[in-house]
């Protein structure tokens, strides 16, 4: 078993701190603007990406890499607020697709107006274009190849 070098440990700590600081700032900005947590945005974005076709809950869980019970509770809350609806699958009457509503699209859009600038503040304003490209490439090397293929 190989133990990590000091440089590897320092890199790991900085990566974790950078992520934590950025996410805390994003969550705080959303809360300050009376918006739901970022996890709602992630779900609404995935539902909007499938453009009205809908997605089954287990597919959403896989896409977001969240635990089933966490997604179930989030989906129920988001549905109660009217941001998504469930429809029976045409090919499998037992299954249901989750579909974003117009109200959900509007919420996701308003959340992005806060989220997007916070990403720019956390990364875009601190790194040059070349540094961002290099960092993106390096981080891509740390991601499982099957996940990286679908990454933006």
pLDDT for the residue 92: 67
CATH label, 14-141, candidates 3.30.70.260, 3.40.1710.10, 1.10.10.10, 2.40.50.100: 1.10.10.10
Average pLDDT, the chain: 89
pLDDT for the residue 148: 47
Q: How much is the pTM?
A: 0.84
Tell me the Ramachandran region of residue 56: left when phi exceeds 0, alpha when psi lies from -120 to 50, beta otherwise: beta
CA atoms within 13 A on the CB side of 35: 23
What's the mean pLDDT in 70-76?
A: 88
Q: What is the pLDDT of residues 18-59, one digit of tens each?
A: 999 999 999 999 999 999 999 999 999 999 999 877 888 888
Among 9-18, 59-68, 82-91, the minimum mean pLDDT is found in 59-68
What is the percent of the chain with per-residue pLDDT over 70, rounded to a whole number? 90
Domain positions in the chain are 14-141
DSSP letter at 127 equals S
């Amino acid at each position: 078993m190989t133990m990590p070098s000091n440089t590897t440990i320092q890199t790991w700590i900085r990566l974790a701190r950078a992520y934590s600081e950025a996410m805390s700032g994003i969550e705080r900005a959303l809360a300050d603007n009376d918006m739901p947590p970022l996890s709602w945005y992630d779900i609404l974005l995935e539902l909007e990406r499938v453009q009205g076709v809908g997605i089954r809950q287990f597919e959403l869980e896989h896409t977001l890499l969240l635990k089933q019970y966490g997604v179930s509770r989030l989906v129920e809350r988001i549905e109660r607020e009217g941001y998504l609806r469930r429809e029976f699958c045409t090919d499998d009457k037992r299954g249901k697709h989750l579909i974003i509503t117009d109200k959900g699209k509007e919420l996701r859009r308003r959340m992005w107006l806060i989220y997007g600038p916070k990403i720019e503040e956390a990364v875009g304003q601190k790194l040059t274009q070349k540094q961002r490209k290099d960092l993106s490439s390096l981080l891509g090397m740390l991601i499982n190849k099957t996940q990286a293929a679908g990454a933006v």
